[in-house]
A and B are shown apart, each in its own frame.
Chain A
Amino acid sequence: MSKLVTGDGRTHIASNLMRESLVDRRVVAKTHSDREFSILPDVVLVSLGGQSIFDRGRDAVLPLVEELAEVRARTKMVIGVGGGTRVRHTVSIALDLGLPTGGVAQLVGAMEEANAVFLNALLAKHGSIVMQREHFWELPLYLDGGMLPIVISIPPYHFWEPPPEDGPLPAHGSDFGLFIHAEVLGMRRIIFVKDEDGLYDKDPKKHSDAKLIKRTTLKKLEESMPEELILDRQLFDAWKNARHVRQVQIVNGLKRGELSRALAGEDAGTIIEKEQADV
Chain B
Amino acid sequence: MSDRSRIESTFADSTLTSSKAELDYRPVALMPDVKVLKVGGQSIMDRGRKALFPILDELAAAKDKHKLLVCCGGGTRARHIYSVASDLELPTGVLAALGGYVPRQNARMLQMLLAKHGGIFMLHDDFEKLPLYFRLGCIPIMTGMPPFAYWEKPAANGRIPQHRTDAGVFLSAEVLGSRRAIFVKDEDGLFTDDPKKNPKAEKIPRISAKELLKSDLPDLVLERVVIEYLARARFCTELQIINGLERGMLTRALEGEDVGTIITRD
Interface residues of A (CB under 8 A from B): 2, 8-13, 15-26, 28-33, 35-37, 39, 51-52, 55-60, 84-89, 91-93, 95-103, 136, 155-169, 173, 177, 180-181, 183-184, 186, 195, 203, 227-233, 238, 240-244, 254
Q: Which residue of B lies closest to A35 (CB)?
A: B89
By a CB distance below 8 angstroms, the chain B residues around A92 are 9-12
B175 A37 Cβ-Cβ under 8 A: no
Q: How far is the CB of B155 from chain A (nearest CB, A)?
A: 6
Are A95 and B89 in touch, CB under 8 angstroms? Answer: no
Q: A28-B155, A243-B91 are in contact. List 6 more A-B contacts (CB 8 A).
A: A9-B47, A11-B76, A15-B80, A85-B4, A162-B163, A163-B229
Contact A184 B147 (CB under 8 A): no
With both chains docked as a complex, state the minimum distance between the C-beta of A228 and any C-beta of chain B, in angstroms.
Answer: 5
User: Could you tell me if B156 and A100 are in contact, using CB atoms closer than 8 angstroms?
Assistant: no
Q: Is the CB of B47 within 8 A of A10?
A: yes
> Can you report 25 A-B residue pairs in the complex whose CB atoms are below 8 A from each other?
A15-B83, A17-B83, A19-B76, A21-B219, A22-B82, A25-B219, A28-B160, A29-B157, A32-B157, A56-B3, A57-B5, A87-B16, A88-B16, A95-B23, A100-B175, A156-B148, A157-B151, A159-B124, A159-B171, A163-B232, A184-B151, A184-B152, A229-B15, A233-B17, A241-B156
Q: Is the CB of B91 within 8 A of A95?
A: no
* B175 contact set on A, CB distance < 8 A: 100-103, 159-161
Cross-chain contact of A36 among B23, B90, B150 (Cβ < 8 A): B90
User: What 1/0 flags go to B195-238 for Cβ under 8 Å of A?
Assistant: 01000000000000000000000111111110001001111000
Is the pair A32, B83 in contact by a Cβ cutoff of 8 Å? no
Q: Is the CB of A228 within 8 A of B18?
A: yes
Task: For the complex, give the distance between the alpha carbons of A32 and B1 in Å.
Answer: 49
Number of interface residues of B (CB under 8 A): 92
- CB neighbours (8 Å) of B157 from chain A are 25, 28-29, 32
In the assembled complex, B26 has its CB within 8 A of some CB on chain A: yes
Q: Which 4 A-B pairs have the closest CB atoms?
A: A167-B19, A184-B93, A102-B175, A92-B9
B4 to chain A: which residues have CB within 8 Å? 51-52, 55-56, 84-85, 195
CB of A230 within 8 A of CB of B15, answer yes
* Interface pair B91/A10, CB less than 8 Å apart: no
Question: Do A60 and B219 contact each other (CB < 8 Å), given the known contacts A13-B76, A232-B17?
Answer: no
Q: Among residues 171 to 195 in chain B, which have CB atoms less than 8 Å away from a CB atom of chain A?
A: 171-172, 174-175, 177, 186, 194
B153 sits at the interface (CB 8 A): yes
Asked whether A100 and B229 contact (CB < 8 A) given A11-B76, A87-B16, the answer is no
Option from A87, A162, A233 in Cβ contact (under 8 Å) with B229: A162
Complex Cα distance, B148 from A181, in Å, reads 11
Residue picked from B6, B77, B152, B154, most chain A C-beta under 10 Å: B154
Do most interface residues of chain B lie in helix, strand or loop, or is the interface mixed?
Answer: loop
Q: Closest CB of chain A to B126's CB: distance in Å?
A: 11
Q: What is the bound-complex CA distance between A2 and B159, given in angstroms?
A: 22
Contact across chains for B5 and A161 when beta carbons are under 8 A apart: no
Query: B86 contacts A22, CB within 8 Å?
Result: no
Q: Are A22 and B164 in contact (CB-based, < 8 A)?
A: yes
> Looking at the complex, which one of B2, B86, B220 makes contact with A59 (CB distance below 8 Å)?
B2
| Residues of chain A contacted by B174 (CB below 8 angstroms) | 100, 102, 163
B residues in contact with A59, CB < 8 Å: 1-2
Contact, CB under 8 Å: A16 / B172:
no
Q: Shortest Cβ distance from B210 into chain A, in angstroms?
A: 15
Q: Interface 1/0s, chain B 20-40, versus A by CB < 8 A?
A: 100111111110000000000
Which A residues touch B194, using CB under 8 A? 21, 24
Once the chains bind, are B7 and A88 in contact (CB under 8 Å)? yes
Contact A18 B79 (CB under 8 A): yes
> Nearest A residue to B228 by beta-carbon distance?
A162
CA distance A103 to B90 in the complex (A): 32
Inter-chain contact A56/B1, CB cutoff 8 Å? yes
Q: Which of B1, B7, B79, B220 contacts A89 (CB 8 A)?
A: B7
Q: A95-B23, A228-B18 are in contact. Are A88 and B151 (CB under 8 A)?
A: no
List A contacts of B84 (CB < 8 A).
15
Contacts of A100 in B (CB 8 A): 27-30, 174-175, 177, 234-235
Question: How near does chain B come to A234, taking the closest CB pair, in angstroms?
Answer: 8
Contact for A156 among B91, B147, B164, CB less than 8 A: B147
CB < 8 Å neighbour of B148 from A87, A155, A169: A155
